[in-house]
Structure 1
Amino acid sequence: MVKLINKMLNNRLGFTRYCAAVVMVSSLSTGAMAADAPSFDCAKVNAGSIEAMVCKDAGLSQLDNQLAEVYSQALEKAKNEQPPTLKAMQRGWVKGRNECWKSEDKHACIEASYQTRIAELQAQYRLVDMTGPVFYACDGNPANEVVVTYFKTEPATLIAEHGDSTSLMFVQPSGSGAKYQGRNESLWEHQGEAKVVWGFEAPEMTCKLVTK
């Protein structure tokens, strides 16, 4: 009788351990799936859409989660922003990302869209380390000033101020110095001198670093 009871207890212990192992594996699998999932509900996306591509790609899903975190940080910084433009800008970005279906390399387009948006938010809302401001006097006129702040984003960015306008620029490949390009503005810095173009088809300015 004692042997029978011990056998039953051993069998029960073995079964319990087996169940615990199954639960652990299931939990790990669920956790891995959650880690690979983007910030939105993949069950609600349309087949063949850009969102569906993000859902199926672990790297793009990771970028989506990173953007969601950065966007949340930006929202906190922008809670007193007037006018409140961040949410509208984000909706515009989503529409722009979804235009990647027109691209020959959709994956590269989506990836670049996420990376630039993350960097843009980090720079605009000062969410990463920065250097500056750095002052440049242009064309020999101290009043013709460009003020630059550099941000440790990926890709690297800067925000330049000239007169009453500002420009967010992204780093570009360059054989020497550091070259940045914005919408209609550019800055190419080398050894304390910067070539600056401010506005569509505007003349290039030669700007010297000023110590203040």
Structure 2
Amino acid sequence: MKLRNNLLLLAMAGLPLLSSQAAEPTFNCAKVPAGSIEALICQTPSLGELDQHLAKVYQQASAKAVNEHPPLLKAEQRGWIKGRDDCWKAEDKPLCVSDSYRQRIAELQARYALLPATGPVFYSCDGIAAKEVVATFYPTDPASVVVEFGDSTSLMLQQVAASGSRYQGRNESFWEHQGKAVVVWGYQAPEMQCEPRAERNKQ
């Protein structure tokens, strides 16, 4: 009777029942090594929820990547897991793991267009019409943008910036400020000054 009353009080307070179960990760916590990053995820409900979220997003991405050649998604995911597990070296391990999950979720959602996008937005750079950058923005967490220039594409995640919106990829960056964009494409490459092309963006 006492247990029933406690459950009733939780329900009346609007608190979720079995919340600890809901936060369990997708892997078997009984089989993870003690002191490992997987053990930390098992012990931290918020990280367990992120693991569940990533599993759902990965499944959605897999459905879109079924005809992908070469099949990069599985290999990249194995690499990401190895990188996540390297968080044992971090001073703040839970923060490192949380950031790793959030970034991976955002990357998958943007790369495989799993969320509604803003764009594409076309930019002409350095006053040369043929020097075109195309940006498609996604409301991920952190926010992301897929930028195309020439024959290459870069997925970038939003970084903290004093003004405007700044995104960083592997060796590329995109800084949107007051309707214009500064784009760097390649390691130590010069900045390109880009402006939206009104005639293309109306299409």
Q: Same fold judged by TM-score > 0.5? A: yes
Counterpart secondary structure, 1:70: helix
Correspondence for 2:166 among 145, 166, 179: 179
Counterparts of residues 17-96 of structure 1 (less than 5 Å): 31-96=18-83
Q: What does the per-residue CA deviation read over 1:36-78, in whole Å, with 9 as the maximum and x for residues that have no partner?
A: 2101100110000000000000000000000000001101111
Unaligned 5+ runs, structure 1: 1-17
Counterpart secondary structure, 2:107: helix
Q: Is 1:170 aligned to 2:124, yes or no?
A: no
Q: Is 1:209 aligned to 2:196, yes or no?
A: yes
Q: How many residues align?
A: 191
Look up the equivalent residue of 1:62 and give its one-letter code: E
Aligned partners of 1:47 and 1:116: how far apart in 2? 26
Residue 20 of structure 2 contacts residue 45 of structure 2 at CA under 8 Å; is this kept in 1? no
Look up the equivalent residue of 2:116 and give its one-letter code: D
Larger radius of gyration: 1
Greater Cα offset, 73-82 or 53-62 = 73-82
Counterpart secondary structure, 1:143: strand
Deviation at 1:31, TM superposition (A): 4.1
Deviation at 1:30, TM superposition (A): 9.1
Q: What does the per-residue CA deviation read over 1:4-37, in whole Å, with 9 as the maximum and x for residues that have no partner?
A: xxxxxxxxxxxxxx6x95xx99xx9994442121
Question: Scaled by the length of structure 2, what TM-score is found?
Answer: 0.89
Residue 174 of structure 2 contacts residue 184 of structure 2 at CA under 8 Å; is this kept in 1? yes
Look up the equivalent residue of 1:80 and give its one-letter code: N
Counterparts of residues 87-166 of structure 1 (less than 5 Å): 87-166=74-153
Q: Percent identity?
A: 56
Aligned partners of 1:87 and 1:172: how far apart in 2? 27
Aligned partners of 1:87 and 1:197: how far apart in 2? 30
Counterpart secondary structure, 1:145: strand
Deviation at 1:192, TM superposition (A): 2.1
Provide the aligned C-alpha RMSD in A. Answer: 2.0
Aligned partners of 1:72 and 1:188: how far apart in 2? 31
Give 4+ residue runs of structure 1 displaced > 2 Å after superposition: 28-34
1:6 — aligned with what? none
Counterpart secondary structure, 1:201: coil
Correspondence for 2:186 among 182, 193, 199: 199
Question: Scaled by the length of structure 1, what TM-score is found?
Answer: 0.85
Look up the equivalent residue of 1:179 and give its one-letter code: R
- Between Structure 1 and Structure 2, the one with more helix by share is 1
Counterpart secondary structure, 1:88: helix
Unaligned 5+ runs, structure 2: none
